[in-house]
Amino acid sequence: MIPQIPIDATNNFLKLRNKLIGLTGKAITDFNMIENNDRVLVCMSGGKDSYSLLMFLLALKERAPIHFDIIAMNLDQKQPGFPADVLPNFLKNLGVEHLIVTEDTYSIVKGKIPSGKTTCSLCSRLRRGIIYRTAKELNINKIALGHHRDDIVETLFLNMFFGSKLKAMPPKLISNDSKNIIIRPLAYCSEKEISSYASRMNFPIIPCNLCGSQENLQRKKIKGMLMEWEKEQPGRINNIYRAISNIELSHLGDRRLYDFENLNQSNKEENDDLLFTEDLIRNLNTGLNNIASFAENIAS
């Protein structure tokens, strides 16, 4: 069995681990991500984030007042040189229920996307379809992805700069077909601290030969920009993330979500904010909580 804590763990590592588990648990609670008797499919890419997500969920499962099942899944996309034995051996030694799904999406992506062009969109759609199908076969009702706080902030800027939309990755969403609920329990965790944790845990990291070979991806440019900002003013990334959950519609400009047309002096005096119709409120909730398709397509 692989231990959840290194034998020679330092006090600093234990503090970091407890902090990350606490942030994961808080995100799960804040967004009601996991409920009693849920079956949670943890998508394992072989990267630091998905390894960390699995370990945090296993730790929370031991102490949670509810019961939920964890099933780890890896999609072997038949990338050249992919070490097919690494994740199965890790998951087996960890003692967690798991499955490996083999689909040659690599050949499909390379055959359809010209050399040098971004493969993320098609790769993501193919991967998502396979995950949804697997979830249905296993009677899964929650799909857990390893996107963290920095991923969410990067997606916000990607959508603003290249999609002309003010949206990010929601911590919890329902798929377009309304059959799958996707959760991101690492939404409150920073990439820097996850990296420190994963490095100390010495996870067997598997690189992606599709994304890793495209050095000019827009996401990498955004990441570099945010890292420079963080150096200039530590805490800036966290402030940007907090802004996503602290929205003032009256100070933006979306006429679909705020009734600027009927804003006047009389109703401003009656109420410091506009009274929305039920339809507007419903649209607002849908817009904020279920925006996913573009963000999923560009997620690394």
According to the model, what pLDDT value does residue 267 have? 61
What's the mean pLDDT when you consider all of the chain?
85
Q: Tokens for 37?
A: 């008797």
DSSP 159-220: HHHHH-------SEEE-TTSS-EEE-TTTT--HHHHHHHHHHHT------TTTTT-TT-HHH
Which of the four pLDDT bands, split at 50, 70 and 90, describes residue 251?
very high
Instruction: Spell out where the chain has E strands.
Output: 38-44, 68-76, 98-102, 142-144, 172-174, 181-183
According to the model, what pLDDT value does residue 101 have? 93
According to the model, what pLDDT value does residue 1 have? 66
Which of the four pLDDT bands, split at 50, 70 and 90, describes residue 299?
very low
According to the model, what pLDDT value does residue 288 have? 45
DSSP 34-100: --TTEEEEEEE-SSHHHHHHHHHHHHHHHH-SS-EEEEEEEEE---TT--TTHHHHHHHHHT--EEE
pLDDT over 50 at 291, yes or no: no
Higher pLDDT, 298 or 149: 149
Cα–Cα distances in Å, from 111 out to 114, 117, 168? 8, 12, 30
Average pLDDT score over residue span 107-127: 79
Asked whether residue 123 is marked as a ligand-binding residue, the answer is yes
According to the model, what pLDDT value does residue 292 have? 40
Note the pTM of the prediction, 2 decimals. Answer: 0.83
Average pLDDT score over residue span 96-116: 86
Average pLDDT score over residue span 101-130: 82
Per-residue pLDDT reduced to its tens digit, 190-232 = 999 999 999 999 999 987 655 544 545 788 889 999 999 999 9
Cα–Cα distances in Å, from 265 out to 65, 249, 273, 275? 51, 18, 11, 14
Number of Cβ within 10 Å of residue 281's Cβ equals 12
Asked whether residue 211 is marked as a ligand-binding residue, the answer is yes
